[in-house]
């Protein structure tokens, strides 16, 4: 019974933070607290493992570095993915006793990545709902309602509610994910560690692409060479 109450508490915390992040992403403030590099460690801290959140947040941030909401174009929803992934993986790592290690992170990403695409649909649905709010505000103002624009804040409800529900569900099922992680055979763990290295490689490539500058490949090459050179130098030192 105590375990169920604890799990409910964890899921509720994940729901509130995930929901607020969804609102912060576009509708309010835009302080970038909903970016994976902030959200994942913050949510990880609330769930008991901030470092585990950071393990997930940094590569996710780099993967989605070039995703920009310009006008009507919608990028994949990095916030929903980061929130759901952290809600599921951090408590799973605690339950499994492994923390957020490379195999669990790679497995979680493979499992939850479709939420980044689902998040785009959520955003389209929110926009449709907001268009109705806009029509209602115009109609009210035309009828002399001076407070018609207060409908604005209602636009925050749908992204909050849906993201909170998804995060709650992910956290609620985290013990199951923890159990799966504990059952990984050694060879699968090694393979998933390789998969996480590959995710970092993709993150670096995506970051270079995300800069959207003609000089980026050359400058990135310089940064790459300097890092490899420094590593070789450090290794050569006695």
Applying the rule CB under 8 A, the residues between 13 and 52 that interact with other proteins are 26-33, 35, 37-38, 41-42, 50-51
Nearest approach in angstroms of CB 69 to other proteins is: 8
Nearest approach in angstroms of CB 13 to other proteins is: 18
Find the binding residues for other proteins in span 70-129 (CB under 8 A): 70-72, 76, 106, 109-110, 113, 116-117, 127-128
Nearest approach in angstroms of CB 85 to other proteins is: 12
DSSP state of 145: -
Closer Cβ to other proteins, 149 or 176, answer by number: 149
Nearest approach in angstroms of CB 5 to other proteins is: 29
Picking from 181, 202, 126, the residue whose alpha carbon sits closest to that of residue 157 is 126
In the structure encoding, which two tokens stand for residue 89, read together?
């993986």
Residue by residue, DSSP assigns 153-174 as GGGGHHHHHHHHHHHHHHHHTH
Find the binding residues for other proteins in span 166-205 (CB under 8 A): 187-188, 190-205
Closer Cβ to other proteins, 169 or 193, answer by number: 193
Nearest approach in angstroms of CB 8 to other proteins is: 27
Picking from 160, 118, 157, 123, the residue whose alpha carbon sits closest to that of residue 16 is 160
Closer Cβ to other proteins, 95 or 120, answer by number: 120
Using CB under 8 A, count the residues that bind other proteins: 102
C-alpha 23: how far from chain center: 13
Closer Cβ to other proteins, 16 or 129, answer by number: 129
Closer Cβ to other proteins, 9 or 222, answer by number: 222
Nearest approach in angstroms of CB 183 to other proteins is: 16
Question: How far apart are alpha carbons 189 and 139 in whole angstroms?
Answer: 59
Output the 3-class SS for 117-146.
HHHHHHHHHHHHHHHHHHHHHHHHHHCCCC
Q: Does 6 bind other proteins (CB under 8 A)?
A: no
Length, in residues, of the chain: 238
Question: How far apart are alpha carbons 172 and 3 in whole angstroms?
Answer: 11
In the structure encoding, which two tokens stand for residue 82, read together?
């980061």
């Amino acid at each position: 019974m105590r375990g169920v109450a604890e799990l409910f508490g964890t899921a509720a915390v994940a729901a509130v933070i995930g929901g607020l992040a969804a609102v912060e992403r576009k509708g309010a403030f835009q302080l970038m607290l909903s970016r994976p590099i902030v959200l994942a460690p913050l949510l990880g801290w609330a769930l008991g493992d901030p470092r585990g959140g950071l393990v997930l947040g940094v590569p996710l941030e780099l993967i989605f570095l070039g995703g920009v909401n310009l006008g009507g174009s919608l990028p994949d929803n990095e916030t929903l993915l980061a929130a759901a992934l952290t809600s599921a993986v951090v408590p799973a790592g605690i339950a499994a006793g492994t923390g957020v290690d490379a195999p669990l992170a790679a497995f979680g990403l493979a499992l939850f990545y479709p939420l980044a695409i689902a998040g785009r649909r959520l955003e389209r649905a929110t926009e449709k709902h907001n268009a109705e709010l806009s029509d209602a505000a115009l109609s009210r103002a035309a009828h002399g309602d001076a407070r018609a624009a207060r409908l604005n804040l209602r636009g925050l409800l749908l992204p909050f509610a849906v993201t909170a529900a998804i995060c709650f569900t992910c956290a609620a099922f985290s013990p199951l994910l923890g159990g799966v992680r504990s059952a990984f055979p050694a060879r699968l763990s090694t393979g998933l560690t390789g998969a996480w290295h590959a995710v970092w490689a993709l993150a670096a490539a995506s970051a270079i692409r995300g800069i959207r500058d003609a000089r980026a490949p050359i400058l990135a090459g310089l940064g790459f060479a300097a890092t490899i050179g420094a590593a070789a130098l450090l290794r050569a030192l006695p």
